Chain A
């Protein structure tokens, strides 16, 4: 062990050194390196595999492949696999770290809270964009509906990004991120969203469906078209607004976090 030396000198506050990475980039890279452990990757990849299997199911079950994939994508992919995959990612990038007692290493820095939130969200979104999003497009190809791959890609990309933002916000509100995220998906979106259009308008599941339905150039079953919800690019805008609102809520809550240890 070396002899004690002076504590390392630091750059004066407000005068960043040219050798530092911008904090937002540092948080983004940290999120990718540290927040998604192998077990989480395995769970996300399992959800991706499930997504591709839904494509096979559409091909095997329905005579009209396009219509069949539209049905399967709406119910199985946008309604089940995408929320599950993004829940695993969204919980990992913040909630799991808060519970593990390691988030304070990031929180206790002069970095503004919006950077902490956006850095995590960008990291989680990138993981979703390289996993569940291509899996959705692959599912369309496997189903034998290549024309649906583009719309599926767009719908799952926007939906995943919105979900990660919502789950990051939930992680800033409660330590039980997974429980509240499941309640959000299955009670609020699936149960209340089915009955109330007002809730469906703010739901990544329903809006992803609307993006997909609005962008495909083939006829989809009437039951997939929901009145009162914007479709196509209108739904994209709606979900982007939902994402921004979720990030604003997360930023506000981030400043009020109570960070106990792992044993608390």
Chain B
């Protein structure tokens, strides 16, 4: 796992930020909107298989994806897709598709008309391809309904069908599971994994670690437009688990519990939290605490009323990663 971007032009072969057979290369890229820096000196690459792009809101995931697909120019550095600049060489768009996070879809078109339009632009055989793409995402039954009347999840799937219809070698998906119900999620996750297994480069952004874990073998973490970490999702998860965490424990016997917890291995400190009427336990091993706490409470004949991580949001974990 890495926490430092590789300097421009220096590609370390064992650096987890770089894929061995890169199809998309991001080299020292910075993008800013006025005074706001969206991406800062970012270097990484993406290759065949599914790669998760993880980060809290505002981390720069969408800007990176828009830059990769040529929609937003980079202010510094370069992005190459299969060796071509997506801003200058329009042939890139014949090999690459984006499913944006935006709900916006063209008005007045049915799902079939929309997917057929994309197929026409890409000169794909329109006899079967649009229906096959709509069938893949489970929308064939409603193919003649207008897209602007669809729910959020159905719009998302229509956009995925429009991306699939061109048979892209590089598929960029910005929060593709937003709005999808659990069954659809499973189906889409299977689909993306299958595309990755076919040797396509699939890049999926999310701010939910567990979602990315199910999807991607490799994860790139962005924070404040910078590369914060990269590698397998287990390494990312372990890195997050090894950071000190604060857990609020409310019980019927705070004092007895405090004396028992403070001697546990991995507990860095216990403080009494008056306003919350409980204990705040600082631990280096949250999983271990989760196992030990019920045992300790039972041994001390204390009833647990509430156990809650105070800094368990993804953003706080990300902050720990870059501290």
- A residues in contact (CB < 8 Å) with B: 1-2, 4-11, 13, 15-17, 19-21, 23, 25-27, 29-30, 33-34, 37, 97, 100-102, 104-113, 256, 258-264
Q: Which residues of B contact A15 (CB under 8 A)?
A: 123
Partner of A5 from B62, B102, B132 at Cβ < 8 Å = B132
Q: Which residues of A contact B106 (CB under 8 A)?
A: 30, 34, 97, 102, 105
Q: How far is the CA of A111 from the CA of B117 in the complex (A)?
A: 12
Given A23-B120, A108-B70: A13 touches B91 (CB 8 Å cut-off)? yes
A8 near B132 with CB under 8 A, answer yes
CB of A122, distance to nearest CB on chain B (Å):
15
6 residue pairs of the A-B complex, CB under 8 angstroms, read A9-B129, A9-B167, A101-B104, A105-B114, A108-B69, A263-B102
B125 on the A face (CB < 8 A): yes
Residue on B nearest A27 in the bound complex, by CB? B121
Q: Which residues of B contact A263 (CB under 8 A)?
A: 102
Extra A-B contacts (4), CB below 8 Å, given A2-B135, A101-B102, A109-B94 = A7-B195, A13-B91, A21-B126, A261-B104
Q: How far is the CA of A165 from the CA of B41 in the complex (A)?
A: 40
B198 on the A face (CB < 8 A): yes
B136 near A4 with CB under 8 A, answer yes
Q: Which residues of B contact A106 (CB under 8 A)?
A: 121
B194 on the A face (CB < 8 A): yes
- B residues in contact (CB < 8 Å) with A: 33, 62, 66, 69-73, 90-91, 93-98, 100-102, 104-109, 113-114, 117-129, 132-133, 135-136, 138, 140, 162, 164-168, 183-184, 187, 190-191, 194-195, 198, 200
B122 near A6 with CB under 8 A, answer no
Given A7-B195, A105-B162: A261 touches B93 (CB 8 Å cut-off)? no
Q: How far is the CA of A19 from the CA of B128 in the complex (A)?
A: 10
Partner of A258 from B73, B136, B187 at Cβ < 8 Å = B73
A33 near B98 with CB under 8 A, answer no
Residue on B nearest A116 in the bound complex, by CB? B121
B102 near A8 with CB under 8 A, answer no
Given A34-B107, A261-B102: A11 touches B198 (CB 8 Å cut-off)? no
Residue on A nearest B110 in the bound complex, by CB? A33
CB of B81, distance to nearest CB on chain A (Å):
12
Q: Which residues of B contact A7 (CB under 8 A)?
A: 133, 136, 164, 167-168, 195, 198, 200
Q: Which residues of A contact B102 (CB under 8 A)?
A: 101, 261-263
Q: How far is the CA of A27 from the CA of B125 in the complex (A)?
A: 17
Q: How far is the CA of A5 from the CA of B131 in the complex (A)?
A: 12
Residue on B nearest A23 in the bound complex, by CB? B121
Q: Which residues of A contact B105 (CB under 8 A)?
A: 102
B108 near A33 with CB under 8 A, answer yes
A1 near B107 with CB under 8 A, answer no
Q: How far is the CA of A103 from the CA of B202 in the complex (A)?
A: 23
Q: Which residues of A contact B72 (CB under 8 A)?
A: 258-260
Given A8-B133, A104-B100, A108-B93: A259 touches B121 (CB 8 Å cut-off)? no
CB of B254, distance to nearest CB on chain A (Å):
46
B90 near A110 with CB under 8 A, answer yes
Q: Which residues of A contact B97 (CB under 8 A)?
A: 108
B113 near A109 with CB under 8 A, answer no
Residue on B nearest A113 in the bound complex, by CB? B90
Given A10-B124, A19-B127, A262-B104: A112 touches B98 (CB 8 Å cut-off)? no
Q: How far is the CA of A258 from the CA of B135 in the complex (A)?
A: 33
Residue on A nearest B100 in the bound complex, by CB? A261
Q: Which residues of B contact A100 (CB under 8 A)?
A: 104
Q: Which residues of B contact A107 (CB under 8 A)?
A: 71
Q: How far is the CA of A11 from the CA of B121 in the complex (A)?
A: 12
Q: How far is the CA of A15 from the CA of B97 in the complex (A)?
A: 19
A109 near B108 with CB under 8 A, answer no
Q: How far is the CA of A23 from the CA of B121 in the complex (A)?
A: 5
A108 near B120 with CB under 8 A, answer no
Q: How far is the CA of A256 from the CA of B90 in the complex (A)?
A: 12
Q: How far is the CA of A30 from the CA of B133 in the complex (A)?
A: 20
Q: Which residues of B contact A30 (CB under 8 A)?
A: 106, 109, 117
B120 near A20 with CB under 8 A, answer yes
B66 near A110 with CB under 8 A, answer no
A8 near B187 with CB under 8 A, answer no
Q: Which residues of B contact A11 (CB under 8 A)?
A: 123-125
Q: How far is the CA of A33 from the CA of B113 in the complex (A)?
A: 10
Residue on A nearest B92 in the bound complex, by CB? A110
Given A37-B107, A101-B104, A108-B93: A21 touches B136 (CB 8 Å cut-off)? no
B94 near A110 with CB under 8 A, answer yes
A19 near B126 with CB under 8 A, answer yes
A1 near B91 with CB under 8 A, answer no
CB of A114, distance to nearest CB on chain B (Å):
11
Q: Which residues of B contact A259 (CB under 8 A)?
A: 66, 71-72
CB of A91, distance to nearest CB on chain B (Å):
15
B122 near A258 with CB under 8 A, answer no
Q: Which residues of A contact B190 (CB under 8 A)?
A: 4
B94 near A4 with CB under 8 A, answer no
A258 near B124 with CB under 8 A, answer no
A10 near B187 with CB under 8 A, answer no
CB of A179, distance to nearest CB on chain B (Å):
19
Residue on A nearest B71 in the bound complex, by CB? A259
Partner of B129 from A8, A13, A108, A111 at Cβ < 8 Å = A8
Residue on B nearest A103 in the bound complex, by CB? B106
